[in-house]
Each structure stands twice: as C-alpha cells, then as structure tokens.
Amino acid sequence: MEIFSTYYQSQKALVVKDALGLIKNPVVLQGQILDFIGLIDGRSTLRDIQLELIRQRNGVFVSIEDIQSLLSELDSLFLLDSDYYRDTKNKIFTDYSQQPVRPAVLAGQAYPGSIEALEKYLDSFFPEKPGVSVDNSDKKVSALIAPHIDLRVGKKVYAQAYAAVKEAFPKTVVLLGTGHSLHHSYFSLTEKDFETPFGLVRTEKPFVRKLREADEEVVAPHDIDHRNEHSIEFQLIFLQHLFGSDFSFIPVLCGSLHNALAAFSRASEIPGVNGFLSELRKLVEEKGSNVLVVAGVDFSHIGPKFGHSFQASSLISEARDHDTRLIDAICRGDPLGFWAEAKRVDNRYNVCGFSSIACLLEILPDSVGQCLGYEFWEEEETQSAVSYAAIALSSAN
C-alpha cells in the first residue's frame, strides 16, 4: 500500500493506492477524516477516540456509534490493518504464488485485448519514416530506455524508442522495470512466464535463480510486486510485436535507491546491490550481441499529484533542466555523473526511473547513447506533469 500527501482542490490530502488491487481506485482523504485517522494507533480505545474528537471539535458530541460506523467504512475500504485486510491480502499472495504464469492484467484496459486488435493498434505507432534515426547505425543498439507512461499519451516516444531496435531480433531480453509498489527491497524477481495477447514469453528461470543467489538480502522474498506492474508488461507487447515470442527474458523490478543517494556515488557501491549487478553484467557479457537490455522508465513527476505544493507549470522548466542533465549523463555512459545529478536535487522531481537507469549504466559499461525523443505530459485536472524519453545505447568501442 502506498500513502502520500498531496493537495486536492487546494486542500491538503492523503492519497492511498494499493498495487494489490484491494483498493480498486486511489482513495483521497481530506478534512476531518485525517484527524480521525490520526487517532487510530492500535492502543486507543473507542472511548479515548471519542473524547479526543469531542475535544478537537470544541465540545461537539460524537457518539461511539458514529466512530464504529467510520471504522467499519475504513475497514471495508481496506484502509485498516485488520483481520479482514490481512486475510484478504494473504489470500492474494497465496493465490498468486501458485500461478506459473503472470497474465496480462492490462489487456483490454490499457491496450486492446485481442491479437488482431493489438497488432493493428501497435502498427499505428510506427510511421513509415521515423522522425529520428540512430547515429552510428553500423553499431547495434544494445540497450533501450523506453517510457512506461500510458500508451496513448506516450505514443510518439514509444515509437521513437522501438523503431531503434526493430532489426535487433535478440535471443534474450533483460527487462528492468520500475517497481512502483516495491518499497522494502532493491529488486523483485519472478520465475513466472509472462502472457500477453501475443502469447507466452518464457522467463530464463535458471538465471533468475542465479540472480537471487547473488545476494538474497537485496531481493524481495516474493514476486507479488510483478502482479499488477505495468512497466514490464508495456515493454513486452512492443517486443513481441517486433520479434514474436521466441526470445526469452529476465524480468527485474527495481525498487528505490534514493535512500542510498547521500552515502554512495553509484549503484554498484551499495552493499548487496553490487553483487546482484555483477551477476547481471556477467549475463550481458556472456550473451554478447544476442542480448538486449530494456529499461521501462519515466522521468520527472511534478505537481500536486506527486506531493508538490506547486502546480507543475511552475516546475517544468527546472524539471526539464534536471532531465536534460540526467539524459546527458546517460548518453555519455556516465554512472557517476548520473548519480551526482540525482544527488544534487535530492530527488526533488520524483524521477521514478532513477533506479532502473542507474542499474542499466552499471551492467553496460563503455556505452554511449542517443536521445531519440523527450516529452512532458501535462494533466490539466491535477495540474501535474510527467516527462519521459526514448534513448538508444550502443557500445562505445
């Protein structure tokens, strides 16, 4: 469960999201309900809560029945750490762990659910003459940074990204996704094969096990974070559209590295993470030209929707400058410079792809890149915005 503060209709609010799907839509909490929630600490009795609410409301009476009704409503929304919440959550964990295949959860929602319709839909992404070509076309693209924003929003930049690898035909894809719900571990792995309307993509299970064994302390003990994550699913449908389903892949969700920003100067310095990335780097080196590394990431997230007290319009210029500096470091193949720029602003612009890109730069040394496209999407309703880019990397040698 993810809880973050924001502003909604000019008032302070808490937004609650749940990657498990218990909470179908984000819940916005405002006003007096915030004071009420602050009193639910697992120690206070109903009587304690009643007296405190009456005090806060200057003597206005609040009945025990009213408090019980509010608690029941919060519990029904899975907002309380209750037996009801824990039992339902445990059932989801158990059911998912027993599934051999991760289904396409967004088929029919974020993109068409049938093969024919999806094929036609993705065909529409690619113009006959791509607007940007990759420099040094004699060098094969070894890695790709592509968006994971809504497909309709990012259509142009998705096309710019995947047009750069349409002739690649890799045998193995290392897919570094953004673990939006991965908060307590640096990585999440799964041995499940992935299914989309195009068919099944086989996961390289032996290598997933080797990655886990490299340092189990940095890997989540379960694979539940993959269940509803879109950052990998969106990349798979493009890869299958271009290459069919004959390639195997290694799905890696990257959790936040921001808590390590101040203490270290690159991802490979973090204890445990260094061993994990070293094993991943070995795979890339062993596979050589038969492997493609893809990072499904977005860049800056600004505005009230993402915890800022200012509208995105007042932050776009400086966020774009930050993105530009990050992209320049990526294109230089400079993990130290990339990390230093993130440290400089202390994650002020919520770059959700920071961890995945930091890891990509570690497993692909001696690479240079080219930015093929970059855009900001502004959401008028929330006065917020998200940036995203397409970047192709190839060997500098």
Instruction: Tell me the CA end-to-end span of the chain in Å, nearest whole number.
Output: 45
Which DSSP string do the residues of 347-371 spell out, in sequence order?
TTT--TTHHHHHHHHHHS-SEEEEE
| Tokens of residue 331, six digits | 């294109």
Q: Give yes or no: residues 280 and 381 share one domain.
A: yes
d(CA 353, CA 359): 10
- Give the residues across from 394 on adjacent strands: 141, 368
Looking at 94, 112, 134, which one is the last position of a domain?
94
How many Cα atoms occupy the beta-carbon half-sphere of 295 within 13 Å? 28
327 domain residue, yes or no = yes
Domain boundary among 94, 127, 161: 94
Structural domain of residue 129, as residue ranges?
104-395
Indicate whether 13 belongs to any domain: yes
For residue 245, the domain's CATH number is 3.40.830.10
In total, how many domains does the chain have?
A: 2
Lookup: tokens for 110 = 């974020």
- Flag whether 99 is in a domain: no
Q: By the 8 A CB rule, do 93 and 220 touch? A: no
354 is a domain residue:
yes
Q: Is residue 252 part of a domain?
A: yes
Are residues 263 and 140 both part of a single domain? yes
Query: Do the Cβ atoms of 316 and 293 come closer than 8 Å?
Result: no
Structure tokens at 6: 């924001």
Are 29 and 162 found together in one domain?
no
Q: Do residues 204 and 271 share a domain?
A: yes
Same domain, 32 and 131: no
Residues 60 and 131 in one domain: no
- Which of 181, 189, 221 minimizes the C-alpha distance to 23? 181
Question: Which residue pairs, CB below 8 angstroms and at least 24 apart, start in 329-333?
Answer: 330/145, 330/357, 330/361, 330/369, 330/391, 330/393, 331/368, 331/369, 331/370, 331/371, 331/391, 331/393, 332/368, 332/369, 333/361, 333/364, 333/365, 333/366, 333/367, 333/368, 333/369, 333/393, 333/396
| DSSP track, 308-351 | -SS-GGGTHHHHHHHHHHHHHHHHHT-HHHHHHHHHHHTTTT--
214 within domain boundaries: yes
Tens digits of pLDDT across the chain (397 residues): 667 676 666 677 777 777 677 777 777 887 778 878 888 888 889 998 889 888 888 888 889 998 899 899 888 888 888 888 888 888 888 888 889 999 999 999 999 999 999 999 999 998 765 445 566 555 789 999 999 999 999 999 999 999 999 988 999 999 999 999 898 899 999 999 999 999 999 999 999 999 999 999 999 999 999 999 999 999 999 999 999 999 999 999 999 999 999 999 999 999 999 999 999 999 999 988 899 999 999 999 999 888 888 899 999 999 999 999 999 999 999 999 999 999 999 999 999 999 999 999 999 988 999 999 999 999 998 899 999 999 999 987 7
At 40, is the secondary structure helix, strand, or coil? Answer: coil
Tell me, yes or no, whether 20 and 87 share the same domain.
yes
Question: What whole-number distance in Å separates Cα of residue 371 and Cα of residue 308?
Answer: 28
Angle between helices 354-363 and 316-332 (to 10 degrees): 10
Amino acid 41: pLDDT = 83
CB count in 10 Å sphere of residue 210: 15
Q: Point out the domain boundary residue: 63, 94, 125.
A: 94
Extended strands (E) in 122-238 = 141-146, 172-178, 187-189, 193-196, 199-203
Q: Could you tell me if 265 and 244 lie in one domain? A: yes
- Tell whether 64 and 131 lie within a shared domain: no
Tell me if 93 sits within 8 A of 222, measured CB to CB. Answer: yes
DSSP character at residue 304: G
List C-alpha distances in Å: 163 to 156, 315, 338, 355, 393. 11, 31, 25, 25, 13
Give the span between the Cα atoms of 387 and 308, in whole angstroms: 16
Q: Give the integer Cα–Cα distance in Å for 180 and 169.
A: 29
Judge whether 207 and 272 are in contact, CB under 8 Å. Answer: no
Does residue 79 fall inside a structural domain?
Answer: yes
Residues 282 and 212 in one domain: yes
Residues 71 and 134 in one domain: no
Same domain, 226 and 373: yes
The SS3 assignment for 22 reads coil
